[in-house]
Amino acid sequence: MNLDRAKLDRLPRMPLPLLLPFSVSSVTSVSSVFLLFALALPPQVEAKPSTAQVEAAFTPGDDIAGIIRSRIAHAKASVRVQAYLLTDRTIAMALLAACRRGLEVEVIGDAAQFESGGLPWLGALDRAGARVYLNTSHAASHNKIVILDGGLAGAAVITGSFNFTQAAQSKNAENVVIISRSPEVTDRFMENFADQRSQSRPWP
């Protein structure tokens, strides 16, 4: 719709960006004002699609222990574990193999569970060169986490309800999620690992 000059001059003036070489009074169409505002706005930056890859596995049905072993076997630089229980021999052997390959291996275990026999592989891991810690700061250090190659482009995190035991694989209903190619997620888990390690005592 068109407005005459006198009526338009009585309208409240709104500041325009300095790059516009005219005033509102020189515009004779409301639609033109909107168009000029639109042209003056910066272009919208399109969000980049996430490259994160998320997988899920469940017992009964999926071989979660096998998934964990395979991921440890393919790690290139480091493996960090927070374990409430670690009695599964095959997962422990995968961690020992990672030590033999020269990877940086760190394990934080629950101190009370260690005392009751729930983490019998910690001594062997310590002797193999892993850095082992026992957490005594919480009623239960109940995390079940594997961080693979933290800080590298191919980093991944495995976490869920799955304890590192044969019972979790063969008897229980359990789950894990595997999050890859997400530096933001991996960094959060690395920060939490460092925090939990600072609250733990070194082996023995």
> Could you give the angle at the alpha carbon of 154 between the alpha carbons of 148 and 160, nearest 5°?
45
CB 170 within 8 A of CB 163: no
Q: What is the pLDDT of residues 42-57, one digit of tens each?
A: 566 565 666 899 999 9
Contacts of 24 (CB under 8 A, 6+ apart): 8, 11, 13, 14, 16, 33
For 88-126, the pLDDT digits (tens) are 999 999 999 999 999 999 999 999 999 999 999 999 999
Top pLDDT among 44 and 195 is at: 195
Domain boundary assignment for the chain: 53-202
pLDDT at 204: 82
Residue 25: its pLDDT value, please? 47
**CATH code assigned to 53-202:** 3.30.870.10
Q: What is the pLDDT of residues 136-194, one digit of tens each?
A: 999 999 999 999 999 999 999 999 999 999 999 999 999 999 999 999 999 999 999 99
Report pTM: 0.77
